[in-house]
Amino acid sequence: MAKKEKPKKEKQLDLGLKQSPKNLLYKFRKSFSNFLVRFEIKEYLRNPFTWFVIILSLSFIATQIYILVNELPSYPQELPLWQNQTSLGKRLANKNLLYSIPIICGSVLILGGILSNVFYHKEKFLSKMLLLSVLLSIIGLTFSFLKLIP
């Protein structure tokens, strides 16, 4: 029986390399970009204005929840939630709709925080204006909530 010859593996450029040098460069570039993304998120969280907005917003939301939990049974069954209506019957709504105000504030804070993080490295001014608008909207919702308390 004749011995079968094994096919020889072709070497790239006859340099003895098993993979292309470009692959090493691309792997290094990917790991470096992942490192930069982690650093950029940390830079966003080091901004004092970001923490100011987060802490102040959370304190307003906690105030709303505290008032709802402790004083909701003493409220009348219907409250004038819709202030822009002319007739009294259209202004009144069920008191359970007050739970939607802290939910809206929390969702505004989360969505604004995510969007400001996305825009932080491209446009820092835009990111700060977005955080300011989040803070002002939560303050406005809190004042309208406190206005409804009898």
- Give every CB contact of residue 109 below 8 A, 6+ residues apart in sequence: 54, 57, 58, 61, 134, 138
- Structural domain range at position 55: 48-148
Q: Is residue 92 part of a domain?
A: yes
DSSP 8-state code for residue 30: H
Q: Is residue 124 part of a domain?
A: yes
Q: What is the predicted pLDDT for the residue at 25?
A: 75
Count structural domains, the chain.
1
User: Is 13 inside a domain boundary?
Assistant: no
Residues 60-118 have pLDDT tens digits of 999 999 988 888 777 777 777 676 667 777 777 777 778 888 999 999 999 999 899 88
More confident residue, 62 or 38: 62
Within a domain: residue 36? no
Coil, helix or strand for 93?
Answer: strand
pLDDT at 132: 95
